Amino acid sequence: MIDNQKDDKIDKKEDRLIRAITTDRQIRAIAATTTGVVEKSRQLHNTSPLATSALGRALTGALMIASLLKSGKEVSLTITGDGPLDKIVAEADLYGKVRGYVKNPDANLPLNDSGKIAVGKGIGQGKLIVRKDLGLKEPYQGQVPLISGEIGEDITYYFTKSEQTPSSVGVGVLVSPEMTVAAAGGFLIQLFPEAEEKAITTLEKNINRISSVTEMISEGMEPEAILNQILEGLDFKVLESKEVQYDCRCSRERVLSLIRGLDPEDIKKTLAEQGKVEIGCQFCNQTYLFTDADIAELDLEGNS
């Protein structure tokens, strides 16, 4: 789904994701509200409306894909294109935690001919890489070319092309005139091999007539209500409901572990030139400062 800009004011409710299946086991469906998640990412990265919308769509998409995991750690989406945004990364786990960044958070473009944020043009031509850490020796990785840069359509294409799973994905972010996030969320619908033509036809009609994701969320619709519209005429049951949140896993201890893996000579050179070592986290913009005394406690020479 493509987002719009308008003045709607909505109550900021808890961000939530639900996972459902039709009772005849022909279709599985996910719906998520991510307004708070995307607003937090906007604040952390100080993104332009274009970057807010693009990163927010990627964060929502990553959360929904991760919710399909039965085990393992996380899913990461990497979107690279020749547009001004350059690169977007979103990482999510099956517990509803997500983080991400956009390489050029200041990038912006005029609204497109429809008066909407030009996410597709901001990303441009490029590729989508989906990486799944399933807890195995090697992660699974799939890659497809971008077909529009609108992210929802690209994820749909990924599932169809790389995983041979007929799918429909809609993601959207509504940016207010104050540049904050007024609404964000998405849905992911997939057909099982047993899906019958009647169910497919009903699903297609429903998807074609629903309003945009952000319009539904702006009207106060929760994930259950969104699926009620998408799966109208089809019986379904909710398998899982969980809170989703923007959560960066970085910490001083994790950064110290990273430093232990660096070349001691490079660290000495940095200390000699700057008197300190600074390492920043791309996902939350937190900067960690280490002095000569901090580094000395690591005993890098003894660990080398």
Q: Which residue intervals of 96-231 are DSSP H helices?
A: 119-123, 152-162, 197-209, 213-218, 223-230
User: Cα 131 to chain center, whole Å?
Assistant: 13
Residue 297 has pLDDT above 50, yes or no: yes
* Backbone angles phi and psi of 19, in degrees to 5: -120, 130
Q: How far is CA 45 from the centre of its chain?
A: 14
The top-scoring range by mean pLDDT among 66-80, 132-146, 216-230 is: 216-230
- Identify the burial level of 182 via C-beta atoms within 10 angstroms of its C-beta, where 0-12 means exposed, 13-18 middle and 19 or more buried: buried
For the cut 60, the answer to whether the pLDDT of residue 303 exceeds it is: no
pLDDT tens, 67-80?
A: 999 876 799 999 99
Average pLDDT over residues 208-214: 92
Can you tell me the mean pLDDT for 216-228? 96
Residue 1 pLDDT class (50, 70, 90 cuts): very low
Separation between Cα atoms, residue 83 and residue 97, nearest integer Å: 28
Measured CA to CA, the distance from residue 205 to residue 213 in angstroms comes to: 16
The proportion of the chain whose per-residue pLDDT surpasses 90, expressed as a percent, equals 73
Averaged pLDDT, 109-115: 89
Parallel/antiparallel/unpaired status of strands 245-246 and 97-102: parallel
Do residues 257 and 296 lie in contact, with contact meaning Cβ atoms separated by under 8 Å? no
Residues 215-244 have a mean pLDDT of 96
Q: Is the pLDDT of residue 10 over 60?
A: no
Q: Is the pLDDT assigned to residue 134 strictly greater than 90?
A: no
Q: What is the pLDDT of residue 189?
A: 98
Place of tokens 């964060």: 59
Identify the structural domains of the chain with CATH numbers, from first to last: 16-246 (3.55.30.10), 252-303 (3.90.1280.10)
Point out which residues pair with 173 in neighbouring strands: 184
Q: Is the pLDDT of residue 263 over 90?
A: no
Look at the block and give the residue holding tokens 């007929």. 166
Single pTM value for the model: 0.90
Per-residue pLDDT, averaged over 79-95, amounts to 97
Tell me, what's the pLDDT at 301? 53
Report which of 229, 223, 227 is spatially closest to residue 243, judged by C-alpha positions. Answer: 223
Token pair recorded at residue 147? 């077909």
The mean predicted confidence, pLDDT, of the chain is 91
Q: Could you tell me which residue, 136 or 43, shows the higher pLDDT?
A: 43
* Separation of alpha carbons 184 and 152, rounded Å: 13
- The 10s digit of each residue's pLDDT in 17-34 is 999 999 999 999 999 999
Q: In 3-state terms, what secondary structure has residue 16?
A: strand
Q: Does residue 4 carry a pLDDT above 50?
A: no
Q: How far apart are CA 22 and CA 29, in angstroms?
A: 8
Indicate if the pLDDT at residue 304 is higher than 70. no
Q: pLDDT tens for residues 39-57?
A: 999 999 999 999 999 999 9
Nearest to 226 by CA among 6, 19, 62: 19
Which of the residue ranges 10-19, 101-110, 197-206, 223-232 would you say has the lowest mean pLDDT?
A: 10-19
